Amino acid sequence: MMRNFKHRVFQLATAVCAAVACGILAMIALAIVRRGWPAVSWQFYTEQIRLVGAAGGIFYNLIGTFILIATALIVSAPLAVGIALVHGVYLRGSRHQEKVTFLLYLLNGIPSILFGLFGLIVFVKFFGLGKSWLTGGILLGMLVLPTVTVALCERMTTLPAAYLEAAAGLGLRQSQIVWSVVLPQSLSGLITGSLLGLARAAGETAPIMFTATIFAGATFPHGIKESPVLSLPYHIFILAQDSFDPSVGAKLWGSALTLLALVLFLSLLALPWRLRIHEEARHD
C-alpha cells in the first residue's frame, strides 16, 4: 500500500518535470508567435532592412545566417569525421579514447562569448581577416564541433563489431574498412549531429557579434577579408535594445519568430535519422 503510494508520488513528480519542460517551450513559442506573426509577410522576407530596422525586411539577414551556418558546416563536418575516426577506430579499446571524449565535453563547455573574443584576437586581428563571414563561420564551426563529433562517435560506437570483423576477415585494410563500412554506416550520425549543431549555430550571437556580422549596410559578401554579413540573431540583439518603438518591436518579434522556425526546422529535419539510430540499436 505504502509502496504503491510512493510509486504514484514518484510518477507524479516525473510527470510534473516533463510538463514544466513542455510548458517552458510552449510559453516561449506562444509569446514569440503571438507577437511575431503580424509582422510576417512576403515583403518581410524579400526586402532589405530600412530605417534602422523600423521598416523593410530581413532578406539579407537570412542570407547572412545561411552563409554563416553553411560555412560552419563545411568547417566542422570534416573535422568531426576525423576526430570521430580517431576516437572510434584508431583508439578503439584504448584508454586514450575517454580522454578525447573528455576534451570534447570541455570544448562544449567553453562559453560562446570566449569563442567571440578568441576569434577577434586570432582571426580578425592576427590573421587580418577583419570582420568577415569567414571568421564567423569558422568560429561557429568550432562551437558546434563537439555536438557534431559526439553524435558521430555515438553512431560509430553502435556500429556492430560483426561488420568490422567480416570486412577484416576478407582481408580489407583498415583504411578500406573505414571507407567501405565505417563511414557509410555512420552517415546518419553525421547528419543528425550537423543539423543539431547548425540549429545551435544559427541562434548564436556572441561568437559573431564582433567578428562577422554588422547591423546594416551589408548585402552579399564581396570577398573574404573585411566582408561582414547581416545575421538574424544580431539583428534581434540590436532591435531588442530599441524595442520601445512599436514599429521596431514588430520587426523584432518577426525576426525572432523566423529564427525560432529555422531552428525548429533544422531540429525536425534531424529527427528521422535520430529515430533510425534508436531503431537499429534495438535490433542489434
Partner 1 sequence: MIESMTPLADATERQKMPTVSAPILETRGLWVFAGKRPLLADVELRIQPRQVFGIIGPSGAGKSTLLKCLNRLVELTPGLRVRGEVLLHGRSAYAPEVDVDALRARIGILFQQPVVFPKSIFQNVIFGLRHLGKVARSEWSVVAERALREASLWHEVKDRLDEPASRLSVGQQQRLCLARTLAVDPEIILMDEPTSALDPKSTESIESLILHLKQNRTVVLVTHNLGQARRVADTIACLTVQDGVGRVVKRGPILAGDFDGPIAAEFIKGRQ
Q: Which is nearer to partner 1, 169 or 246 (CB)?
A: 169
By CB under 8 A, residue 172 contacts partner 1: yes
Range 79-138, binding partner 1 (CB under 8 A): 92-94
Cα separation of 138 and 205, whole Å?
Answer: 14
Min dist CB 96 to partner 1, Å, is 12
By CB under 8 A, residue 165 contacts partner 1: yes
Q: Which is nearer to partner 1, 93 or 109 (CB)?
A: 93
| Residue 200 contacts residue 105 (beta carbons within 8 Å) | no
Residue 50, H or E segment: strand 49-50
Name residue 104's beta-bridge partners.
none
By CB under 8 A, residue 237 contacts partner 1: no
Binding span for partner 1 by CB under 8 A among 63-71, 79-87, 122-130, 154-162:
154-162
By CB under 8 A, residue 202 contacts partner 1: no
Residue 213's SS3 state is strand
By CB under 8 A, residue 169 contacts partner 1: yes
DSSP string, 119-156: HIIIIIIIS---S-HHHHHHHHHHHHHHHHHHHHHHHH
91 — phi, psi (to 5°)? -105, 15
Of positions 109, 171, 223, 246, contacts partner 1 by CB under 8 A: 171
How many other CB atoms are found less than 10 A from the CB of residue 104? 21
By CB under 8 A, residue 43 contacts partner 1: no
By CB under 8 A, residue 17 contacts partner 1: no
Cα separation of 84 and 118, whole Å?
Answer: 25
Is the alpha carbon torsion for 235, 237, 238, 243 positive or negative?
Answer: positive
Q: Which is nearer to partner 1, 1 or 170 (CB)?
A: 170
Q: Which is nearer to partner 1, 91 or 214 (CB)?
A: 91
Cα separation of 284 and 185, whole Å?
Answer: 14
C-alpha cell at 264: 525548429
| Residue 88 contacts residue 183 (beta carbons within 8 Å) | no
Binding span for partner 1 by CB under 8 A among 59-67, 136-144, 170-178, 232-240:
170-178
Min dist CB 162 to partner 1, Å, is 5
Q: Which is nearer to partner 1, 48 or 185 (CB)?
A: 185
Q: Which is nearer to partner 1, 143 or 181 (CB)?
A: 181
By CB under 8 A, residue 46 contacts partner 1: no
Site residues, partner 1 (CB under 8 A) = 92-94, 160-173, 176, 180-181, 185
